């Protein structure tokens, strides 16, 4: 009887995991192209990391009335490829989910983003970067190492995947938005020893979308600009969106925009009165949740996508 009970429990658990994956899109199916970011262990990887797991509990908040996957204990970074649906524009976005460098909101700020982008002919990759305690740079270089390596991999294999190597951008949320800004200003020097041909090509994004960022303005220094994020004229074009009532503080967007402006970087800033933090692409009655449509227009404006 005990053996039967255990088998039944295992079957129920497997069914629940399958249904959850069908709902959230994570983990991706075996048929989805997923490759390791590093050919071996990541730089500085611990010897016996705890197992990767969804850390969401029943007490965690819902977003637009729905739960999300809070992926924790990520020690083996991966890239998952979502090819464009319909006509392939050749444009590509590498997505950095947020989560305070502690977890990854892997569906809310990952799979749901790729569903949107691929429907518009844009190829998409989700970077499952290392957490927890892997940023912000320079407190830790781990997440930025993963981002540098990931964009290099995508560009180096662009021909095989039918991508335009000159139209590879990044899109990040919260901590992932900081990571996108960090990569936009820290691409000229790898933070790890080169491993192969992927590290010989540029990891500079061609554009960046920064959604409700953190760590770009320092609260303990009267919201001074983060000196580690130092835009220059070579920083790629940026799209920034945040709500004024964001508890992470809207100054992260406004201060970063002014730094870009002073460096003469083409940038577009959208500030909304309400919205809070962590809404992803889930639509509510608040206007801020229409930000993806503004991004679509911007991608046409900067000629990443063809004129309508």
CA–CA–CA angle 207, 209, 215 (5° rounding): 115
Rounded to an integer, the average pLDDT of 88-115 is 98
Element (H, E) at 168: strand 168-173
Residue 175 near residue 181, CB atoms below 8 Å: no
Residue 252 near residue 218, CB atoms below 8 Å: no
Does 163 have pLDDT greater than 50?
yes
- Which is nearest to 197 in space by CA: 161, 167, 157, 233? 157
Q: Which two tokens stand for residue 70?
A: 């809070």
Rounded to an integer, the average pLDDT of 97-101 is 98
Return the minimum-mean-pLDDT range out of 19-33, 56-70, 156-170: 19-33
What's the pLDDT score for residue 25?
86
Does 15 have pLDDT greater than 70?
no
Task: Write out pLDDT tens, residues 20-30.
Answer: 555 678 999 99
Task: Write out pLDDT tens, residues 184-214.
Answer: 999 999 999 999 999 999 999 999 999 999 9
Does 79 have pLDDT greater than 60?
yes
What's the pLDDT score for residue 7?
44
Q: 53 vs 50, 57, 104, CA distance in Å?
A: 9, 12, 11
Q: Which two tokens stand for residue 201?
A: 């090509």
* Total-model pTM: 0.92
Return the minimum-mean-pLDDT range out of 12-21, 240-249, 282-291: 12-21
* Selected residue with higher pLDDT from 3 and 19: 3
At which residue do the structure tokens 């850390």 appear? 55
Taking the C-alpha atoms of residue 277 and residue 98, their distance in angstroms, rounded to an integer, is 11
Q: Is the peptide bond before 138 cis (omega within 30 degrees of 0)?
A: yes
Task: Write out pLDDT tens, residues 245-263.
Answer: 999 999 999 999 999 999 9
What's the pLDDT score for residue 206?
98
What one-character-per-residue DSSP string does 87-112 give? S--S-EEEEE--STTT-EETIIIIIH
What one-character-per-residue DSSP string does 249-303 give? -THHHHHHHHHHHHTT--EEEEEESS--S--TT---SSGGGGHHHHHHHHHHHTT
What's the pLDDT score for residue 21?
52
DSSP 8-state assignment for residue 131: B
Taking the C-alpha atoms of residue 127 and residue 163, their distance in angstroms, rounded to an integer, is 17
Would you say domain 32-301 falls under CATH 3.40.50.1820? yes
Task: Write out pLDDT tens, residues 122-142.
Answer: 999 999 999 999 999 999 999
**Residue 235 neighbours by CB under 8 Å, 6+ apart:** 184, 185, 260, 263, 265
Instruction: Specify whether the backbone of 2 is left (phi greater than 0), alpha (psi in -120 to 50) or beta.
Output: alpha
- Which is nearest to 96 in space by CA: 202, 205, 181, 173? 173
Does 4 have pLDDT greater than 70?
no
What's the pLDDT score for residue 3?
54
């Amino acid at each position: 009887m005990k053996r039967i009970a255990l088998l039944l429990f295992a079957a129920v658990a497997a069914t629940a995991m399958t249904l959850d994956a069908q709902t959230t899109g994570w983990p991706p199916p075996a048929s989805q192209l997923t490759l390791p970011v590093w050919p071996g262990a990541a730089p500085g990887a611990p010897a016996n990391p705890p197992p990767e797991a969804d850390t969401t509990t029943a007490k965690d908040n819902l977003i637009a009335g729905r739960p999300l996957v809070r992926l924790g204990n990520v020690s083996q970074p991966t890239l998952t490829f979502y090819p464009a649906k319909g006509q392939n524009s050749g444009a590509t976005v590498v997505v950095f989910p947020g989560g305070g460098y502690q977890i990854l909101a892997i569906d809310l700020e990952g799979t749901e983003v790729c569903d949107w982008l691929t429907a518009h002919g844009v190829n998409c990759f989700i970077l499952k970067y290392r957490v927890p305690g892997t940023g912000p740079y320079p407190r830790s270089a781990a997440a930025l190492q993963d981002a540098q390596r990931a964009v290099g991999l995508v560009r180096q294999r662009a021909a095989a995947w039918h991508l335009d190597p000159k139209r590879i951008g990044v899109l990040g949320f919260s901590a992932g938005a900081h990571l996108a800004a960090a990569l936009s200003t820290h691409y000229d020097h790898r933070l790890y020893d080169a491993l192969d041909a992927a590290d010989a090509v540029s990891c500079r994004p061609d554009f960046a979308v920064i959604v409700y960022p953190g760590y770009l303005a320092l609260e303990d220094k009267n919201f001074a600009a983060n000196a580690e994020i130092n835009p220059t004229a070579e920083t790629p074009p940026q799209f920034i969106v945040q709500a004024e009532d964001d508890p992470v503080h809207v100054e992260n967007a406004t201060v970063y925009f002014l730094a870009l402006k002073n460096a003469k970087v083409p940038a577009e800033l959208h500030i909304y009165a309400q919205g809070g933090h962590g809404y992803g692409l889930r639509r509510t009655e608040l206007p801020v949740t229409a930000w993806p449509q503004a991004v679509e227009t911007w991608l046409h404006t900067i000629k990443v996508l063809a004129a309508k």
